[in-house]
């Protein structure tokens, strides 16, 4: 592995952690001790949602060791989200979001609230074994808070962990945006669940006045990833959800030039993920010296992107923290996309078809 690159990567990570720790130290508003007091539930009960709380599910969910998740958002009365920039929604002060993680039982619920000073409060709540109450976890997190069926130890994140992911993206909010809430849901998205009638989607939010100023084209034509094949759409969607919170054009890692975020704004930049990965030499070097291209078309085993998603070696895995188990379903999808959709022969055939479209004859008519 390249020692200079490893040193630089470690320096960037330490800088993010240091900034996160500083933000935690400055945090003026402490989260309630009990989840029941955050506004998610009514009358202190942990089953009945409070008035105004809206359930939602992103079409490209984040992988967290196979956890089943439920998600909610609450906007202050009369407030709305400004979607003038469809990729960078502006949330009103007082916005609250929750995400519940379950395996055989509820394990944790993560909480965010936008304060009046413009900063976000981040907190994690640990559920009791009987599922009756969730209380605030330590700011440093909790190692081995739950044991999965295969013996993997599941950790509760620290506040610094939460900030390292969320503060690498300009909006701070992940999974709640125009593309993720589009009614045109991707049927091949790994781990996605069908949207239920109780879960809000983009057009409903606009119709109710909860999202304002969304460009009309994204209401009339439901947002979707511009891809050549159904499999590529799902692969790019997975990378958007699981990698682009850090690998985007505006965050602390922008200098790496690896952009995996799918954008809707003008000018449309739908191919950034391909342009910054295909045949691009990566700075990372695996311990065996193999694979220096981020994506080697037709060769998943030589593609750093595939190798790092599939690894759980501490210095190699991607994402770098937050999971202990590789996402085998997504790994299979992305490997097949690299091997088949991106194979040189496939790309050559596509280019030939694009440059020499079939001619329509009188007989065809």
Residue 207, classified by CB atoms within 10 Å of its CB into exposed (0-12), middle (13-18) or buried (19+), is: exposed
Query: In the predicted model, what is the mean pLDDT of residues 40-68?
Result: 92
Q: How many helices (H) and strands (E) does the chain have?
A: 9, 10
User: In which region does residue 304 sit, left (phi positive, over 0), alpha (psi from -120 to 50) or beta (all else)?
Assistant: alpha
Q: What is the average pLDDT score of the chain?
A: 88
Assess whether pLDDT exceeds 50 at residue 22.
no
Distance of alpha carbon 194 from alpha carbon 187, whole angstroms: 9
Assess whether pLDDT exceeds 50 at residue 362.
no
The residue ranking higher by pLDDT, 61 or 5, is 61
pLDDT for 28? 40
Express each pLDDT in 289-338 by its tens digit: 666 899 999 999 999 999 999 999 988 999 998 999 999 999 999 999 99
Report the candidate in 50, 44, 110 with the shortest Cα–Cα distance to residue 77: 50
Express each pLDDT in 197-209 by its tens digit: 999 999 999 999 9
Where do the structural domains in the chain lie, given as residue ranges? 28-221, 242-350
The residue ranking higher by pLDDT, 299 or 30, is 299
How far from 36 is each of 39, 57, 116, CA to CA, in Å? 7, 22, 22
Express each pLDDT in 247-274 by its tens digit: 999 888 999 999 999 999 765 565 899 9
- Residue percentage of the chain with pLDDT more than 70: 83
Report the candidate in 45, 217, 35, 47 with the shortest Cα–Cα distance to residue 126: 35
Distance of alpha carbon 362 from alpha carbon 351, whole angstroms: 26
Confidence at 112, pLDDT banded by 50, 70, 90 = very high
User: Which DSSP string do the residues of 313-337 spell out, in sequence order?
Assistant: -TTT-SSSSS-SS--HHHHHHHHHI
Judged by DSSP in three states, 231 sits in helix
Confidence at 4, pLDDT banded by 50, 70, 90 = low
For 85, the token pair is 């920039």
Report the candidate in 114, 74, 94 with the shortest Cα–Cα distance to residue 200: 74
Residue 168, classified by CB atoms within 10 Å of its CB into exposed (0-12), middle (13-18) or buried (19+), is: buried
Judged by DSSP in three states, 37 sits in helix
Helix (H) or strand (E) holding 107: strand 106-114
Express each pLDDT in 221-235 by its tens digit: 999 999 999 999 999
Its pTM stands at: 0.86
Looking only at the bridges linking them, the beta strands covering 96-102 and 153-156 are unpaired
pLDDT for 345? 73
Torsion of CA 151, 155, 156, 160, to 10 degrees: -170
Distance of alpha carbon 323 from alpha carbon 347, whole angstroms: 34
Judged by DSSP in three states, 142 sits in strand
Helix (H) or strand (E) holding 43: none
Distance of alpha carbon 247 from alpha carbon 273, whole angstroms: 10
How far from 356 is each of 62, 248, 345, 352, CA to CA, in Å? 40, 35, 16, 6
| Spacing of C-alpha 278 from chain mean position | 21
List of residues 6+ apart from 266 with CB closer than 8 A = none
Assess whether pLDDT exceeds 50 at residue 130.
yes
Express each pLDDT in 137-159 by its tens digit: 999 999 999 999 999 999 999 99
């Amino acid at each position: 592995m390249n020692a200079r690159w490893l040193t630089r990567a470690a320096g960037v990570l330490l800088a993010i952690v240091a900034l996160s720790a500083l933000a935690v130290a400055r945090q003026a508003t402490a989260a309630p001790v009990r989840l029941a007091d955050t506004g998610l539930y009514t009358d202190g009960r942990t089953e009945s949602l409070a008035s105004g709380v809206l359930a939602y599910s992103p079409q490209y969910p984040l992988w967290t060791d196979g956890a089943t998740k439920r998600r909610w958002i609450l906007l202050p009365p009369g407030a709305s989200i400004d979607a003038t920039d469809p990729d960078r929604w502006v949330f009103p002060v007082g916005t609250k979001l929750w995400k519940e993680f379950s395996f055989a039982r509820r394990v944790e619920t993560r909480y965010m609230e936008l304060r009046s000073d413009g900063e976000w409060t981040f907190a994690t709540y640990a559920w009791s074994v009987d599922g009756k109450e969730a209380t605030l976890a330590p700011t440093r997190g909790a190692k081995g808070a739950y044991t999965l069926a295969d013996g993997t130890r599941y950790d509760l994140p620290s506040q610094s962990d939460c900030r390292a992911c969320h503060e690498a993206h300009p909006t701070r909010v992940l999974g709640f945006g125009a593309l993720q809430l589009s009614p045109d849901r991707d049927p091949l998205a790994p781990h996605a669940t069908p949207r239920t009638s109780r879960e809000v989607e983009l057009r409903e939010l606009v119709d109710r006045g909860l999202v304002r100023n969304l460009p009309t084209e994204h209401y009339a034509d439901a947002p979707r990833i511009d891809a050549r094949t159904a499999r590529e759409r799902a692969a790019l969607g997975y990378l958007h959800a699981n990698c682009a919170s850090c690998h985007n054009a505006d965050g602390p890692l922008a200098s790496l030039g690896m952009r995996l975020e799918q954008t809707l704004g003008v000018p449309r930049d739908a191919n950034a993920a391909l342009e910054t990965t295909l045949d691009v030499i990566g700075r990372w070097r695996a311990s065996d010296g193999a694979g220096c291209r981020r994506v080697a078309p037709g060769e998943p085993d030589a593609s750093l992107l595939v190798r790092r998603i599939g690894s759980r070696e501490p210095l190699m895995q991607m994402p770098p923290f937050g999971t202990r188990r590789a996402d085998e379903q997504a790994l299979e999808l992305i490997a097949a996309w690299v091997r088949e959709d991106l194979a040189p022969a496939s790309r050559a055939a596509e280019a030939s078809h694009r440059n020499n479209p079939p001619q329509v004859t009188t007989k065809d008519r």
